[in-house]
Amino acid sequence: MNQTAKIPFDVTAIRKDFPILKREVNGYPLVYFDNAATSQKPQVVIDSIVDYYSNYNANIHRGVHALSQEATDAYEAARKKIQKYIGAEKQHEVIFTSGTTHSINIVANGFSNLLQEGDEIVVSAMEHHSNIVPWQMLCQRTGAVLKVIPMNEEGALQMQQYKSLLNSKTKLVFVNHISNALGTINPVKEIIALAHQHGAAVLIDGAQACAHQQVDVQDLDADFYVSSAHKMCGPTGIGFLYGKESWLNKLPPYQGGGEMIKEVSFEKTTYAELPHKFEAGTPNVSGGIAFGIAIDYLNSIGLEAIAAYEQQLLEYATKQLLEIPGLRIYGTSADKTSVISFNLEGVHPYDVGTILDKLGIAVRTGHHCAQPIMDFYQIPGTVRASFSFYNTTEEIDRLVAGVKRAQQMLS
Ligand SMILES: *Cc1c(COP(=O)(O)O)cnc(C)c1O
């Protein structure tokens, strides 16, 4: 069955932009379904890194010479692209970081001075470990208490329970926009509005959202929003922290060093203005520039087209996989992205993943950095296939055939 032809989306042309998709693995053409862990990179992004180091490599923000100017302009242009991409009001509300984890830690560290013993922090039951551990550390430092929004069997947050957790002691709420383990799209706009009624700030982990749907931080009214370039067709080692200007001004710097100061003497140092206050040291210049190119690339395809195409892949794969007897999908919320977490009855997910790898199909197995979710379902982990806009229904057919083969071999 060739469904791809029905989709108004030139996936064949798009695939040519990604050199890695020409690869073979174990004698088969690569099927890459580990996009929730990291995305592949189009040639334009790869080229932009080589171009930077070949033609205008220099340290930024302080040089008078031409190369430094060019590099600074390109880096700051990338910041502007991120600002537009997420709908931020001001360019200096976008802080370059090394990625989601770094961004979350800047905020968690910043709140050390703003919390008191007995204050409450609310997180969801479906967070990535990077969105649990920094808050536990913050609670240890401050005496604040961590509260958890439970989820239901479908893998959706229980909003009634969330409402009952909020009170005047709630200072912070942290929720991912989209769960990396289940694909659930959380009702973050509603979550933010409810938190604001109690005067709490909200940080949204957008690591899974930014490559798959249009994000508008002003419409959401998010206080903080974070993501990593490497999940958005960009390089590793770069990401952003968006924060409302008023919040970023309240938080202390995370690291001390060059770039983040206005004046330094041994008596007193004054910090630089935003965004530099949070960007100590020489940044990942090539990464920032390449991140901007990745955003141009995603925009050239269009987030709406990407979301619509990925929904078709999700529906196609869900239908086919559910026809396999004994296969259970975890995360069946009506509102979800192209992530399918599943298990075969009586079979360890690792064994399924190993057989799929032998067939050239890359999936992830395990707890997906979200152990509390696995505890909830009382399973050791799942097999996770996560699709991107460069995947095809033919590749899904190969996954389905591979899962059937694994089932025959293992049960
Ligand atoms: C990948 C991911 C993270 C961590 O991102 P890093 O790039 O490893 O810092 C955090 N949250 C979610 C939902 C993720 O998918």
**From 139, 210, 233, 369, active-site residue:** 369
- Could you tell me which residues are beta bridge partners of residue 385? 340
| Site to substitute for ligand 1 among 38, 96, 100, most atoms within 8 A of C-beta | 100
What is the rounded distance in angstroms from the CA atom of residue 246 to the CA atom of residue 256?
Answer: 21
* Average pLDDT estimate for 297-321: 97
Give the pLDDT band (50/70/90) at residue 2: very low
Nearest CA to 325 among 411, 199, 389? 411
Indicate if 74 and 122 belong to the same structural domain.
Answer: yes
Is residue 233 part of the annotated active site? The answer reads no
Final residue of a domain: which of 271, 300, 329? Answer: 300
Indicate if 121 and 235 belong to the same structural domain.
Answer: yes
Nearest CA to 310 among 395, 253, 370, 378? 395
pLDDT higher than 50, residue 3: no
* Average pLDDT estimate for 64-74: 96
**Number of domains, the chain:** 2
Closest-lying ligand 1 atom to the alpha carbon of residue 128: 11
Indicate if 229 and 338 belong to the same structural domain.
Answer: no
Give the pLDDT band (50/70/90) at residue 350: very high
| Site to substitute for ligand 1 among 101, 124, 129, 132, most atoms within 8 A of C-beta | 101
Final residue of a domain: which of 249, 269, 300? Answer: 300
Indicate if 353 and 309 belong to the same structural domain.
Answer: yes
Indicate if 111 and 168 belong to the same structural domain.
Answer: yes
Indicate if 149 and 248 belong to the same structural domain.
Answer: yes
Ligand 1 binding site (Cβ under 6 Å of any ligand atom)? 99-101, 128, 130-131, 176, 180, 205, 207-208, 228, 230-231
For 288, the token pair is 């920032």
Final residue of a domain: which of 254, 271, 300? Answer: 300
What pLDDT score does 212 carry?
96
Indicate if 36 and 176 belong to the same structural domain.
Answer: no
Centroid of ligand 1 to alpha carbon of 124 (angstroms): 15
* Cα diameter, the chain: 73
Centroid of ligand 1 to alpha carbon of 136 (angstroms): 17
CB 205 within 8 A of CB 217: no
Indicate if 248 and 335 belong to the same structural domain.
Answer: no
Give the pLDDT band (50/70/90) at residue 311: very high
pTM for the predicted model, two decimal places: 0.96
pLDDT in tens, 27-67: 999 999 999 999 999 999 999 999 999 999 999 998 899 99
What pLDDT score does 381 carry?
95
Residue 367: give its domain's CATH number.
3.90.1150.10
What pLDDT score does 5 carry?
43
Range of 246's domain? Answer: 46-300
Indicate if 204 and 65 belong to the same structural domain.
Answer: yes
* Average pLDDT estimate for 98-125: 95
Residue 74 lies in a domain: yes
What pLDDT score does 260 carry?
84
What pLDDT score does 1 carry?
43
pLDDT in tens, 357-391: 999 999 999 998 889 999 999 999 999 999 999 99
Residue 398 lies in a domain: yes
What percent of the chain has pLDDT above 70?
Answer: 98
Residue 120: give its domain's CATH number.
3.40.640.10
What pLDDT score does 368 carry?
87
pLDDT higher than 70, residue 86: yes
pLDDT higher than 90, residue 355: yes
Give the pLDDT band (50/70/90) at residue 156: very high
* Average pLDDT estimate for 312-328: 98
Indicate if 144 and 195 belong to the same structural domain.
Answer: yes
pLDDT higher than 50, residue 281: yes
Mean pLDDT of the chain: 95
Residue 264 lies in a domain: yes
What pLDDT score does 8 carry?
67
Provide the Cα torsion 138, 38, 5, 297; round to 10°.
90
What is the rounded distance in angstroms from the CA atom of residue 382 to the CA atom of residue 371?
Answer: 11
Residue 4 lies in a domain: no
